[in-house]
Amino acid sequence: MARAFRKTGGEAEPASHDHETRIPAAGTWLGLGVGIMIVLAVFAWTII
């Protein structure tokens, strides 16, 4: 059981890790973009 679990865990890890690194990378860039846009909009609104 432990050996089988280790094998499946080892095989599944790189694939899931690949997906985990790709999706949050896009999500963080989107989040940063949206955050910067909101900050700029609020900053411009306060000046106006």
Q: What is the pLDDT of residues 1-44, one digit of tens each?
A: 455 545 554 555 455 555 555 656 667 888 888 999 999 999 99
Q: Return the pLDDT at 48.
A: 79
Taking the C-alpha atoms of residue 1 and residue 6, their distance in angstroms, rounded to an integer, is: 9
Could you give the number of structural domains in the chain? Answer: 1
* Spatial distance between the Cα atoms of 19 and 26, rounded to a whole number of angstroms: 11
Closest Cα partner for 14 from 4, 26, 3, 22? 22
Angle at 23 between CA 15 and CA 39, to 5 degrees: 160
C-alpha–C-alpha distance, residues 37 and 18, integer Å:
29
pTM, to two decimals = 0.42
Domain that holds residue 29: 1-48
